[in-house]
Amino acid sequence: MDSILGRYRRIDTTDSPLSIRSTSILLIIIALSIVSVVPQLAAAAATPDLLLDPRTHVLPREYDARDYYAVEIDWNPGDLANSDCDLACRIDDFANEIGLRFEEPLGSLKNHYLFSAPKSISHDGAAPAAEDHVSAKLRKRNSAAQPVQYFEKMKTKRLYKRDVPDRYAYDQPIDSSLLPLRELEKALDIHDPLFEKQWHLMNPLQPGHDVNVSGVWLQNITGAGVVTAIVDDGLDFDSDDLKDNFFAQGSFDFNDHVALPKPRLADDRHGTRCAGEIAAVKNNVCGLGVAYDSKIAGIRILSKEITDVDEALALNYKMQDNHIYSCSWGPPDDGRAMDAPGVLIKRAFINGAQNGRNGLGSVFVFASGNGAMNGDNCNFDGYTNSIYSITVSALDRKGLHPYYAEDCSAQLVVTYSSGSGDFIHTTDVGKQACSDSHGGTSAAAPLAAGIFALVLSIRPDLSWRDMQYLALQSAVKVDNPDAVWQKTANGRDYSHRYGYGKLDTYAIVEAAKTFQKVKPQAWFDTHVAQVHTDIPYGKNGVSSEITIDQNDLVNANLESLEHVQVTVNIRHQRRGDLSVWLTSPFGTVSILATTRVNDNSNEGIVDWTFMSVAHWGESGVGNWTLTVYDTEKPELKGTFEDWTMRIWGEAIDPARAKPFPMPKAPAESTSSTTTANTPTPTTTTSTTTSEAIPTTSTTSTEQPVTSATVSAPSPTSTGDYDDNAGDSKQNDSNSAYFSWIPTFGMSTDKVVWIYGAALLIIGFIALVTVYFCVQRRKKAGFRRAGDSDGYEFQVLRNTNDLEAGNRGNGNTRASGRRKTRDLYDAFENIDEDDAFAVEDILSDDEDDLSDDGHDSGAASGKKDAGKSETEEGKERLLGDQGSSS
């Protein structure tokens, strides 16, 4: 019977071989799990960082002979890790399959690559084919759900320097103070400008009309440790005024694809002059920069035609080392153009803001434009009206508005440049050459960039949005009658001509010393308000409202406004006749578009996104009204079709904040789902005339009067912005990556794999620990239960234990009776056939005992005893079954 009971005894956890085997199995599982994760980690670590430095690519672009294609390929890190073909091999296979030549990765844009092929020619050999075979193959791969996520054939273009224009080429009014001077210059054929060197740094002739930097220099704040990249036409790094502050590691020539951005053309002077404003060293040559101990890098893109690929690479080039990007260029300022960055450049802006400067964001500074004499407005420029740009316009040395400087609601601040008979005096191309004719908003932007370098030198922890806050909060109001100031929700005045005022170096540096960093960014997209209403001619207009309630913003995790974007669709026979106003619930008016005398386009305004900084600090809750006016030619008609808004601002809860997704190409865009809190649009047609309707951006911002209200059709879906990536609304539970997890500068894929592996290992260790604790606790409980020696059942040592009954005494015998009875209860339903099965088991045990290796006497004794016990146990089992039945 010992043999039977031994099959049901609890295993001793102290020295059982099974316990050792279980522990070994768990440890093997842990080891296998770790080993299985290692290839994934290796792939994740290797794949995102396979970025080649553009300077190692020695071949120049062959735009005359080859077509270039930007392609985004979504490689699976697991497939790469488990394949003999690595990423370079996969790229070569992909290129061979499509018929392309691999050129290079697209800088820091993840999974983006540049390929090229010989130019596609039509069958007659006269012109490019409508769609070349390469595009057709890529489109097929895209539609077949292959890893191609995006592709685009690059088109060449030219960007234009925003240097001071020749005012004599235009019939424009000039400052009255310059009339006698201009008459004398004309009479004597004098072309030398009046000048007082570097009056923009300290102006003794017109006190107060400078950047007020002397008090900062006296504190030994001179820009040390900060690098500004001059994205322009090159930089003369051999100049005695610049060579000591030249940062070669952050420089590259994307026009000729060589390492150093040397000026090569006769007019490659623009970038060198801008660089001198920022970082001309303190020596005996020319003047000095506003941040004369800071460094400057040169990124050359303006001297030849380029594509979006090179422009995107330039805006992200060495973005961990280059802190500020000074950009004094853009589309033509002719009053006709309406150009926006392509999808790659938009991605580069977002990439720089989210990942530049180790996550603090690159600071992009753009000149507002020199098209005022052409009636241009900087909200028709997709670079200056980007939320990622600090758009800077100009003042002259007398504090007046220069004839060239554009107005718009995207303009944040102004600073000094040419006008009132003087220019900015700075470095020029040549070993010791100087310039006394630098100007335009091209000169204002780098001067602002140099001031921001001073700020970052004492507060390198500030984000790109922190810098925008500091700029508007410390700006000094320009007390000119043409400003048309209006009070805003943040307590400051705003003007479409001067922004929040002029930059004051001492004020912004002092404010930066105690500035509290803002919380992460949040945003909210409204639905598309359907209007489809004819625009009446004259000082009447057609208006539409979008209502935002508090729940919308709470759900979007948005606390207060910063930037407001409005995307509109307006059909019209002449685009230049239109003006567009946005009125906030607070009452602040943003003039998003003004009439443009040179704009004869009949394309209207199609999916164009305007931007305003005039509503900074508002809550956003209430009715937002967009009004479209047609004030020029009554015979030309138009229709206000629809519009939508995206408002940006500071997050309520930083833990819920998430990064804005990369924008999709137009063909990829899909409508996002309308939420339950969709505002209801209404359309209002004004029947009362108002003298406040703008024909230029300098008119008053008094509100037009409206009277008749007509319901607009209800929207069926929420449309995307042209830079939207699907449904981009804030969500408190679907954040892809939590902001509080440290990334240590690694890519997102690396962080996911590493943290995932760590959690897996920790989980297994926790399971093993729990297992051993449970076993230890059970063992202790068994020992406290009595004389069990670590067993759940009492060991039966002889036949007396079976017959003890009421004769037993003491705890051990009592326990033995109880457990023996319980054991028999387990067999109480056994039938006769099962009883004979038990006999067979007992017979097998007897055979095992007979084969034991002990001496014959002991074995014989044990065998006889075993037989008697077996027979008695069988009889008792059968007897119990019979009595129970």
Return the domain boundaries, the chain: 55-153, 205-518, 522-653+661-711
**Cα–Cα distance measured from residue 885 to residue 865, given in angstroms and rounded to the nearest whole number:** 30
What is the CA angle 140-143-148, rounded to 5? 80
Query: How far is it, in rounded angstroms, from Cα 805 to Cα 194?
Result: 126
Based on the residue annotation, tell me whether 463 is a catalytic residue of this protein: no
Report pLDDT digits (tens) over 486-541.
Answer: 999 999 999 999 999 999 999 999 999 999 999 999 999 999 999 999 999 988 89
Q: Report yes or no: 390 and 448 within 8 Å, Cβ to Cβ.
A: yes
The pTM score is 0.67
The one catalytic residue among 362, 442, 463, 788: 442
Predicted confidence at residue 718, as pLDDT, reads 37
The confidence score (pLDDT) of residue 106 equals 87
Question: Which helix (H) or strand (E) element contains residue 870?
Answer: helix 856-884
**Cα 327-391-302 angle, rounded to 5 deg:** 20
Instruction: Decide if 314 contacts 231 (C-beta within 8 A).
Output: yes
- Is 396 part of the annotated catalytic residue set? no
* pLDDT for residue 23: 61
Task: Classify domain 522-653+661-711 by CATH number.
Answer: 2.60.120.260
Which pLDDT score is estimated for 869? 52
* The pLDDT value given to residue 301: 97
At residue 22, the pLDDT reads 61
Backbone torsions φ then ψ of 185, nearest 5 degrees: -60, -40
Which is the catalytic residue, given 270, 438, 496, 615? Answer: 270
- Catalytic residue check, 232: yes
Specify whether the CB–CB gap between 620 and 554 falls below 8 A.
Answer: no
Phi and psi torsions of 613, nearest 5°: -105, 5
CATH number for region 55-153: 3.30.70
Distance CA 277, CA 38 (A): 52
CB 79 within 8 A of CB 146: no
**Count of other CB atoms within 10 angstroms of residue 621:** 15
Spatial neighbors of 232 by CB under 8 A, at least 6 apart, are 161, 270, 271, 274, 298, 299, 300, 301, 302, 326, 327, 328, 329
> Domain 205-518 belongs to what architecture?
3-Layer(aba) Sandwich (3.40)
Whether 205-518 shares its CATH topology with 522-653+661-711 is answered no
Beta-bridge partners for 77: none
Please tell me the predicted confidence (pLDDT) of residue 517. Answer: 98
Active-site pick, 67, 210, 232, 233: 232
Furthest-apart CA atoms within the chain: distance in Å: 143
CA atoms of 703 and 710, how far apart (whole Å): 19
> Which residue positions in the chain have pLDDT lower than 50?
1-18, 43-56, 123-127, 130, 145, 175-178, 180-182, 184-186, 188, 190-195, 668-740, 745, 747, 787-797, 799, 801-833, 835-838, 841-842, 846, 848-867, 881, 884-885
The reported pLDDT for the residue numbered 731 is 38
